Structure 1
């Protein structure tokens, strides 16, 4: 049972209610640590100081229950998405959760895009994609919370639409939500405490209310865990390799039909049929690509998975779902991307069309879309 003096105290890092009894349960804090200010749970303490991950997260139903509260308030909803995994990080059904509240779509991690990127075109692309998903945003803002890019524009947009309301921040895990909120705290509040941020999914475990100087609140909600993202399936040691920390250097391959490109043992890309053409791969540069002939691909995989073809290691490969095949027909006449949630995307540079086969762990979301770049 929780000690009386910690009964109504929440962790300043992740929002979970604190308790002093069960070390293996959420919210545990040693009794002597309750005198600190701000008070954070042991899980947040270890993430902050030792960069340790915790396997404890809320389940999907609990996330949805928390999100349902948003539509019953009068607030500004800020939906943070990851430009490097746009389709995978969008919240399906957000308009239903948001109710009549205005939604600002904040597109984070633009620092990962190649430096020659035309950002006006990116904004237009995001607006079109959001419309296809049924999301009507009052504004699309590009930023990098980590690199402090575009943040002044974020503040301008929030000031324009907030009108004294609370700001609800929603997003999938690992989109940079807590990093961006920490920036907001510094600009809107004198509060010294910052949210726990880490590279691991599910860092925020309950609603965290941050008081602003005008009497309203920034309200951080837990990230939704989407298991269709490869970043949710890999081991902790491989997560940092999947998630780029600097601008991606695109890999361009000139391929003949019946050629294959492996990305470690994570994903396999087959160019099954079509005229010789180039494909540009936008993936973390920590992932090594290997090209081979399609007829040798199965043999190469069996011989070298988890070793030459890594990450993951053979040990971690056993933890991933088995590959499933995704046949993709790329239409003629327009440039398209094939997005692989949690890995990146492949731009089909020719407008001649192509037949592809993507092999990825079962459940990973694969989609064809209008080219981002």
Structure 2
């Protein structure tokens, strides 16, 4: 076991798993030659993330991600799919069942600590089960947890003990779902390998598959995060992620709106209540985001004059790097309680008692959809 660990640290970064090289500073895995003798060996990118909370942009071929996922189907393994409860539809790997074949899947739903206090976890679990089934994902277990806050993690360990049966464990997930944080907990609680993966708010931190040896000769394999450009987290400037992503329980914002009223979420999204009886809309978004109400007839002018300033960030200069808005027209039928889900941003719960016609303007490519209410 010890020999295997030393061999791996010579060729790959202990933080992100990428192959180490000292010839091309702009490429992934770069480390100065005078640092190669250090233990554990950490690439320059991981070093900067850990110590300075910064990351360079490194292009990783998406085809390699898909090949890696596809190879899981040829193995006899247990698959742990980690999703972000706060961004469920945005972080669920589409078509995962096709990649993993007959291998069993445990769905680990992370970041439950972000939900408002007092939530019924059984209801949340039932909601997750229904949503996963509707996406064609077959699971043998669903675990709700918060790796960051150490909530429910013992259930993850229990599930691995019950379902692994001497097999390798592949951990898969989209970027920024807390996968590396959870893997670090597994290393401490379930493996004899003393190292930490690199964790940060930046999408795509893990660049290559990282093998974490287990005592029985098998391994936990941490795969790179899949980058979904349909999420707001992938289109905003990295400097704005700290505002966009909540790090503590969300305090729902409730707005009583008349038809023909608009709400701006920062300068990122515009929400128009086009038609319907006066009713409440509950916003489940980061409380660091600014929400501004106006009349629809004034919304265009207000945006042009105050985007990036009164309406909140990103800045005017940063907004030029974000795709132009696309309008999504959504109708909530009377009697249905639904969420307007915006990938990477959060969701707006529509009461549904009266029905409503809603227009959502969001950056082109960002997923906007109606779903059954989570809460």
**TMscore range, shorter length:** over 0.9
Q: How many angstroms does 1:331 deviate by?
A: 1.2
- Give matches, 1:139-178, under 5 Å: 139-178=141-180
Q: CA RMSD in A?
A: 1.3
Instruction: State which drifts further: 209-218 or 147-156.
Output: 209-218
Distance 1:341 1:314, change over 3 A: same
C-alpha separation in 2, matches of 1:7 and 1:56: 21
Q: How many angstroms does 1:252 deviate by?
A: 0.0
C-alpha separation in 1, matches of 2:196 and 2:20: 17
The equivalent residue for 1:304 is 306
The equivalent residue for 1:278 is 280
Deviation sequence 1:205-243 (CA, Å, 0-9, x none): 111000012221010000000000000110011111010
| Aligned partner (choices 126, 134, 137) of residue 128 of structure 2 | 126
Question: Conserved in 2, the CA contact under 8 Å of 1:6 and 1:34?
Answer: no
The equivalent residue for 1:198 is 200
Deviation above 6 Å: which 4+ runs of structure 1? Answer: 5-8
Q: How many angstroms does 1:297 deviate by?
A: 0.6
- Give matches, 1:1-373, under 5 Å: 9-373=11-375
C-alpha separation in 1, matches of 2:9 and 2:173: 29
Deviation sequence 1:315-361 (CA, Å, 0-9, x none): 10000000010000111222000100011000002322100000000
Q: How many angstroms does 1:292 deviate by?
A: 0.5
C-alpha separation in 2, matches of 1:350 and 1:92: 28
Deviation sequence 1:227-279 (CA, Å, 0-9, x none): 00000110011111010000000000000000000011100000000000000
Q: How many angstroms does 1:60 deviate by?
A: 2.2
C-alpha separation in 2, matches of 1:126 and 1:59: 31
Structure 1: 5+ residue stretches without partners: none
Count residues with an aligned counterpart.
Answer: 369
- Secondary structure, counterpart of 1:325 in structure 2: strand
Deviation sequence 1:276-314 (CA, Å, 0-9, x none): 000000000000100001111111101101111121100
Q: TM-score, length-normalised on structure 1?
A: 0.97
Q: TM-score, length-normalised on structure 2?
A: 0.97
Q: How many angstroms does 1:8 deviate by?
A: 6.4
Instruction: State which drifts further: 35-44 or 352-361.
Output: 35-44
Question: Conserved in 2, the CA contact under 8 Å of 1:265 and 1:309?
Answer: yes
Structure 2: 5+ residue stretches without partners: 1-6
C-alpha separation in 1, matches of 2:372 and 2:215: 43
Q: How many angstroms does 1:25 deviate by?
A: 1.2
C-alpha separation in 2, matches of 1:228 and 1:109: 20
Question: Conserved in 2, the CA contact under 8 Å of 1:7 and 1:19?
Answer: no
- Secondary structure, counterpart of 1:67 in structure 2: helix
The equivalent residue for 2:4 is none
- Secondary structure, counterpart of 2:11 in structure 1: coil
